[in-house]
Each structure stands twice: as C-alpha cells, then as structure tokens.
Amino acid sequence: MMNLGRHAIGLSGIRTVVLLASLAVVWPTVPFAAEPVGLERFVVTAGVKGMTLPCMSRLEDGRLLLVWTTGGNAVMGAFSSTGRVWSAPFSLISTSTGHDFDPNVVVSGKRVLVASTNADFARGIHTSITTCVRSDDNGQTWSPRYEIPMNHRYTCGKCHRGIRLKSGTLLMGYSWDTKCEKGEALRAEGAMQLHAGVMISTDNGLTWKNGGDTGAKYQHESADAVEGTDEPAIVELDDGSIYMLMRTGTNHLYEARSTDEGKTWTSVGPSPLAGHNAPAALCKFQVGERRGILCVWDNAQVRYPLCTAASFDGGKTWTKPRDIAGSTGGRQASYPTCEQAADGVIVAAWNQETPDGTDVRCARFTIDWLLQEWVP
C-alpha cells in the first residue's frame, strides 16, 4: 500500500477553486442541425490547440463532470445535467513545467478525484508523474494538487474513467512502459512497449497500490503504433468480474478479465471489436429491465468513424455498430468517453480534429436508436 503522507489532504486542507460561476453560467454549446431521431450532437468547446483527451463521469448528485486537456499544460472541467448544456469551463490542474495529459475521473460517493499525467518530453519519453486534485463535496471545492506514486518510471494511458466496485474498492486504469523502466528515453510512441493494468485503492482514494498488468506480443499493423497493451477502459459486470478493453497496434482492441478486483488478469487477447492504435470507452447502462455495457470506439484501422455498440452478455458479443460522430472530412474523431446521464440517455464525448484545432464534441443517444438496425 502506498501512503501519500504529506500529500494526503483532509477537509482542513481543501481550497476553493473558482468555477467561473459554473453552476449558473451556461456555456454556449453548439447543436448540430437535422439530427436523426434519438441522436443529438453538440460542440462543447472548439479550436483547442493539441489533443483534448476528454473523460467523463456521473457524480453522486446526478450531474456529469467532463474533463479535458488544453494547451498541453492544463486540465479543464465542466458540469452538465444532461449533456446538452455545459457550465463554463474551469481549471482543475495547471502546471508551469512539462505537459499535462491523460486526465481521468474517479467518483466514490461525494468524493471525486481528477488525475493527470505530467511529463517533460524535451529529452524524449522517459519519466512521468501522476498529479491529482480531490473534492469531497461533489466538485464544489477542490484540494491543492498532489502526487499519486505509481511505482513506475513512465506511466500513461490514464485517460478513461476509474470505477468504484460494489465492494467499495476503487480502480484506475493506466499503462507503464517497459523500456522506460530500464532507463531508456524513447523518441516516439511507436518505440513504446506497454503493459496496461489498474491502480487499486481500498481507502476511498487516499492511497493506491499497483494491481495486475496485461501484456501482449503481436505483429504490428503500422510502424507508428504502440506495442503491447495501452489505455485500458474498465467496467464491472453484473457477476462482479471486471472487463477491460485496450488499445493495441493490431487490427483489434484487446480484452482481458479479472475475477479478483484487478489483482490479476486472464483471457488477454483480441476482442470481437475491430480497431487499430486507438482507445475505446466503456460504461454500464440500464433502461427499464434491459441492462448491458456500452462501448464507443473507432471501428476501423484509422481514427474514424467513431461508433458505438452494446453488449448484453459481458462483452462476448456486440450489437451492430452505429456512427455517432458523423463525417469528419478524413480527420480523426477519437479518445471517446461515455456515461449514462440521470435522464437515462447515453452521453458520449470525444476529441474531434478540425481545420481550426481540436473540438471537444459530445452526443446524446438512446438505446432504442442504437438498436434500430440490430437483429439479435
């Protein structure tokens, strides 16, 4: 178990972050025209320089918290009740050195953690730290930034929502690089050899320890693709097991399963979902008596189209994929995140490249819309 020591912050150390009146100010999201019944799409924020890597989770009070990176050195956040209208963006993590990326969210009751990778790439890919801010009042106030020890020289891939298990244990997905572990400095992602796994907390996010890892050997589909397993998305199934989907350099997402709350992983191999060198997002949903898991991912060997599908058997089979991003003009729509809103509709957000920079875009869609073209 890793104790954060002086970095573990109680309520007395909480500072108030100015939220730009985020509970009252409406950020002008831009809807798309002539949408099909059951699907709505919006631009949350436009023209960001660099990738935005959004991550979203539903808070205990029912609101959605969406976080993303901007300018390479800040993690921003915004709230929404339904995914249609978002609060004014506010700063959560900002540093004067290195780059902040891979933001994620872990919700446990009123406690909310937002963590991010910080790295300086002046000498290549070699080391990183994980920084975090914490709220104990559903995001009204936030702690100062502190570090979560990861016990590896270079970690990344923390771009998906963490989860709270039925037992109360918290899991946060991440990846670590085996070459950096030996002291190497890498020049590009294509040189990386990654292992995806989870960090585990049994004290409501105060301390974390390393869980089990996954790894894979395969034939690369492109020279710039990562090697191994990266950027894991995780979800707890109804039987208490954990299902994981991972980015790989092959022509499929890889999957893995755990029956001991992330301590070990089995059945590591290609999933039924096609995709190359891009991550997926997972969430659970329930509509009436129908329960399942949802995936959003790039259903191709490039980072478009961005599609969604559902599984009603724990990821063994999936419904027919449906495109949620629409035409991208050959530019990528990637790094998705998804969650069921309080009104029952699924909300997904993603990183959308445009001629003017990168947008954070989101979509709202119903399960009925998703299943329109699916025959069981």
Q: What is the DSSP string of 101-169?
A: EEEEEEEETTEEEEEEEEE--TT-B---EEEEEEESSTTSSBPPPEEE--SSS-EE---S--EE-TTS-
Question: Which tokens hold the place of 278?
Answer: 């891009």
Q: What is the pLDDT of residues 312-340, one digit of tens each?
A: 999 999 999 999 999 999 999 999 999 99
Q: For residues 107-114, give the mean pLDDT.
A: 98
CA-to-CA distance for 210 and 207, rounded, in angstroms? 11
CB of 198 closer than 8 Å to CB of 171: yes
pLDDT of residue 375: 76
Q: Where does 39-368 sit in CATH, by number?
A: 2.120.10.10
248-286 pLDDT, tens digit per residue, is: 999 999 999 999 999 999 999 999 999 999 999 999 999
Please name the residue that has the structure tokens 């108030």.
16
Both tokens assigned to 232: 């894991």
Instruction: Compute φ and ψ for 149, nearest 5 degrees.
Output: -65, 135
Instruction: List, for residues 46-70, the tens digit of each pLDDT value.
Output: 999 988 999 999 999 999 999 999 9
Residue type, 342: A
Look at 23 and 328; give whichever has higher pLDDT: 328
For residues 87-91, average pLDDT: 95
Tens digits of per-residue pLDDT, 159-178? 999 999 999 999 999 999 99
Q: Cis link prior to 305 (omega < 30° from 0)?
A: yes
Per cent of the chain over pLDDT 90 is: 84
**Segment 192-213, tens digit of pLDDT:** 999 999 999 999 999 999 999 9
pTM for this entry: 0.91
In the prediction, which pLDDT does 373 show?
81
pLDDT of 16 over the 70 cut: no
pLDDT at 28: 59
Residue 191 phi/psi, 5-degree rounding, is -90, -5
Confidence of residue 6 (pLDDT cuts 50, 70, 90): very low
Beta-carbon neighbour count of residue 190 at 10 Å?
15
CB-side neighbour CA atoms (13 Å) of 311: 20
Residue 218 token pair: 């395969």
